[in-house]
Chains A and B, each alone.
Chain A
Amino acid sequence: MRKLEVRELGRLPYGEAWALQKELAEQRKQGLIPDQLLLVEHPHVLTMGRNAHEQNLLVGRSRLAELGIEYFEIDRGGDVTYHGPGQVVGYPILDLREWKRDVVAYLRALEEVILATLRRFGIEGHRDAGATGVWTPEGKICAMGVHISRWVTTHGFALNWTTDLSYFQHIVPCGLMRPVASMESLGVRVEREAVHRAIVEEFARVFEYEPAHAAAGA
């Protein structure tokens, strides 16, 4: 059975987490480490994907600085997104050659992980054909965007746990003018650890791993 190392990194600035992802992806490509799942929370940050449209950013850069929101242009698929406190951000660094060489199947599997996680807390999410991510009747609850290099994945998903949803007003999330939701806004109050545990277990189930928990930040 393939092995998954989970790293719970706590709160980490976006830039540091990105650098760590790149380093781990490089090691993964060389076969030095097994597949990784990073779970992290970022301070306020907006990231623009490769296909991002500047018009989906609704405030100027200088205003972002005033608001204490960082800004990054990055190499994942998808449009602009927001990360911040109260969000569970997951970065799987997987070698898809050992799973399925199929990027679409990978996205659908990530969605399945989140759908199953939410179900554990009584939230019925759904997919929306043509709009990758996980949706609820109240709005989008989990955004996704992925980068792949030699079949090794980086970036991943951002699940709104207790996110202050007002921050999404600065952007058109993923270029889609649709509402956002969080577990909390749907009336579900749970500990962050419980969400992490559910994600890790469902991740291991969907991607067929035997997870080996690594020390936080290792």
Chain B
Amino acid sequence: MADVVMPQMGESIVEGTLTKWLKKVGDQVERDEPLFEISTDKVDTEIPSPAAGTLSEILVQEGTVVAINTVVARIGDGAAAPAPAPAPVVETPAPAPAPAAAPAPAPAPVVEAAAAAAVEESAGPVSPLVRRMARENNVDLAQVSGTGAGGRITKQDIENYLAAKQAPPAAPVAAPAPVAAAAPAAAAAAPLPRVEPAKVRVEAMSIMRQKIAEHMVHSKHTSAHVTTVHRVDMTRVSKARAKAKEDFQQRYGFGLTFLPFITRATAEALRAFPIFNSSIEGTNVLYHNEVNIGIAVALDNGLIVPVIHQADEKNIVGLQRSIVDLAARARSKQLKPNEVQGGTFSITNFGSFGSLFATPVINQPQVAILGVGAIEKQPVVIDDAIAIRSMAHLALTFDHRLIDGALADQFCLKVKSILESWSDEIL
């Protein structure tokens, strides 16, 4: 049994897209026979088989981005199959398979790699290629039976399905019509009619964007999202913040925002309602003993959720320090993998962009996320009198598979009561 790995194609290359398998599972391959193709930037590369035998397993589907040294397939002992001819003579000495010599896959882009890994695990059961083929041909994937590993639908399955549907054999699409039979000179002479400038601009999504897209859709397919919104009086917190702000700047070198107060209240509520600090695995609920709160950070063209580990053990100073530090390093791409992993609950602060409330998407495999809306002074009726108070909307999206509305509202009321009865001493 030989492993086929994604080879290192150059010093600066850490990954490539596996674009095409040139062999099917069960096919005989010779050593050095082209086995699959990868694509990096402007280069398409055929990768030869490292060994002779039977392609026994394809582990990476077409269209997948693969890090170098990843095992993409396995080649079994071909001995069982009767060799049709005497052992093939390999004329050129096999190019030493690069992978073995390849240096460890670069320590650098930690965050993206981590995010990628996280998504890989949770990715849906079909490859992007299959999804695209289904979309382009209007195929309902539910109608196609998968023959790949674990019942996965493969490219071949779609092709078979399409072939079965179309009684008359479809003509090969790509047949390049023998057009320019006319002498090139004549073609060049014909004046070219003006063509209108294009109406669209095409731009490829960054890897991070693609991961976010997959992650979001995966979450929407996984959880039963429900959002409940509570209005919270932040006046006491606002006063506490105003009072301590200067002091923070002088003593610690960073300001004081509302976010650590909300994080603190949330951590308390999570301890009171541990089900919000859980995840679903099959038919089990995993209750996490640590309260690790992810804080969504907007990047130029993306989003990342660094995690404050054991947030319930930190005071306002500690939380603010963590938030400032994680956000700064998220923007300069300096986060370590463990700092974007292990979150058990998330907070997203869209209020800082002026939003009143939104319906956030759950950060899988978590079961709830708290969205913080803009904090604004509002006229509020208190004991039949109108007062001016600092008000905010807190929106909690929860997974209705596990959590019912009544419990979600109790959780919100807990957060609300902590914030509304804030006392300066808790700083």
Please list the residues of chain A having a beta carbon within 8 angstroms of any beta carbon in chain B.
11, 13, 29-31, 43-45, 49-51, 53, 55-56, 58-59, 61, 64-65, 67-73, 75-78, 84-85, 97, 101-107, 132-133, 144-151, 164, 166-167, 169-170, 172, 175-177
Contact = CB atoms under 8 A, between A and B. Distances in A.
Interface stretch (B91-99, B280-288, B349-357): B91-99
Contact of A148 (B44, B186, B193): B44
A51 B19 contact: yes
Interface string B79-120: 000000000000110010010000000000000000000000
B202 A172 contact: yes
Contacts of B92: 29-31
Contact of B179 (A71, A97, A149): A71
A69 B41 contact: no
Q: Give 7 closest A-B pairs by Cβ, nearest first.
A: A68-B187, A43-B184, A102-B10, A177-B201, A104-B10, A65-B179, A149-B46
B180 A70 contact: yes
Contacts of B180: 13, 43-45, 65, 68-70
A69 to B, nearest CB: 7
Contact of A170 (B13, B32, B195): B195
A44 B188 contact: yes
Given A51-B39, A104-B12, A177-B200, 10 more contacts: A43-B188, A65-B177, A70-B176, A71-B177, A72-B176, A84-B188, A101-B9, A102-B10, A106-B10, A169-B198
A37 to B, nearest CB: 18
B37 interface: yes
A150 B37 contact: no
A164 B187 CA distance: 13
Nearest to B11: A102
A147 B42 CA distance: 8
Contact of A64 (B46, B179, B188, B202): B179
A70 B195 contact: no
Interface string B168-204: 0000001011011010101110101111011011111
A77 B192 contact: no
Contact of B187 (A44, A55, A59, A72): A44
B198 A150 contact: no
Contacts of B255: none
A132 B43 CA distance: 10
Interface residues of B, number: 46
A30 B91 contact: yes
A149 B45 contact: yes
B44 A77 contact: yes
B48 interface: yes
B228 interface: no
B13 A103 contact: yes
Nearest to A175: B202
22 contacts: A29-B92, A43-B184, A49-B44, A67-B192, A68-B182, A69-B180, A69-B187, A75-B37, A77-B40, A77-B43, A97-B95, A101-B9, A104-B11, A132-B42, A149-B46, A151-B95, A164-B192, A166-B192, A169-B194, A175-B202, A176-B202, A177-B198
Contact of A146 (B42, B176, B195): B42
B337 interface: no
B128 interface: no
A51 B198 CA distance: 20
A149 B33 CA distance: 10
B34 interface: yes
Given A51-B39, A56-B202, A150-B32, A61 B95 contact: no
Contacts of A150: 32, 46, 48, 95
A147 B176 CA distance: 20
A31 B91 CA distance: 10
A14 B102 CA distance: 37
B95 A50 contact: no
Given A72-B176, A169-B195, A55 B10 contact: no
Nearest to A144: B42
B205 to A, nearest CB: 12
Contacts of A67: 187, 190, 192-193
A103 B9 contact: yes
Contacts of A144: 42
A101 B295 CA distance: 43
Contact of B184 (A13, A30, A133): A13
A75 B45 CA distance: 9
Nearest to A70: B180
A62 B273 CA distance: 65
A78 B20 CA distance: 15
Contact of A50 (B10, B44, B202): B44
Q: Which of A29, A43, A69, A172 has the most CB of B within 10 A?
A: A43
